[in-house]
Chains A and B, each alone.
Chain A
């Protein structure tokens, strides 16, 4: 079954702690994305990557970091510098290439809360 797997489903962070959210895809997509979703605000782009070992900041990258060492994996670290991390985090992926439609496929999300 092809898809995007995010883990864990629920995560709790203590003050001053860094936490890492996992995102794995077996769709063979080149591009991967991280979004944050807050009530009434829609999806906001944190980071994206179009190729292994390369990534760009989105609109709200401060307090977050990513890596893209493998095509299938794009983990997101929420650092202690992110003062308001409570949100629903969504990972997505898409095909890159001429003629490819700009369709992003999403995982089931990780809900992060602060203890």
Chain B
């Protein structure tokens, strides 16, 4: 069993829809949770960074962490074609240069 599980998709939604991306994990000790966005043939870029349980909002993006269920989510409101990318969840035990475990990524396509 992988430490972090993520549905690979592809997920295709119409422009303007709310998108929900999810990951589950097995190690209850994870404390730091991240979402990265990766455009085709590019390196990942950080979208959201959260510590422990709760919600964090940044513009059209909301990250949600439920440690009791070992489940994290990324919501994208008013989705745009420019949001079409692969989204990788990631998590680590500690802050500052500790090992990060990445999900395999979900490929998202927003139809105009």
- A16 close to B (CB within 8 Å): no
Rounded to whole angstroms, the CA-CA distance of A102 and B34 in the bound complex is: 9
CB contacts (< 8 Å) of A102 on chain B: these are 32, 92, 94-98, 100
Of the listed stretches B39-47, B60-68, B73-81, name the one at the interface; the rest are far from the partner chain: B39-47
Rounded to whole angstroms, the CA-CA distance of A42 and B92 in the bound complex is: 15
**Interface size, A (range):** 20 to 34
Rounded to whole angstroms, the CA-CA distance of A50 and B95 in the bound complex is: 14
Rounded to whole angstroms, the CA-CA distance of A101 and B102 in the bound complex is: 16
> Which of B52-107 touch A at CB < 8 Å?
88, 92, 94-100, 102-105
Rounded to whole angstroms, the CA-CA distance of A103 and B95 in the bound complex is: 8
- B8 close to A (CB within 8 Å): yes
CB contacts (< 8 Å) of A92 on chain B: these are 43
Q: B51 to chain A: closest CB distance in Å?
A: 9
**Contact among B6, B92, B96, B98 for A98, CB-based, below 8 A:** B96
CB contacts (< 8 Å) of B105 on chain A: these are 42
CB contacts (< 8 Å) of B4 on chain A: these are 42
CB contacts (< 8 Å) of A43 on chain B: these are 44, 88, 102
- A40 close to B (CB within 8 Å): yes
Q: A40 to chain B: closest CB distance in Å?
A: 6
Q: Is the CB of A41 within 8 A of B104?
A: yes
The 5 A-B pairs of least Cβ separation, nearest first, read: A106-B43, A42-B104, A43-B102, A100-B96, A31-B97
CB contacts (< 8 Å) of B45 on chain A: these are 106
Interface centre among B8, B41, B97, B102, by most A CB within 10 Å?
Answer: B97
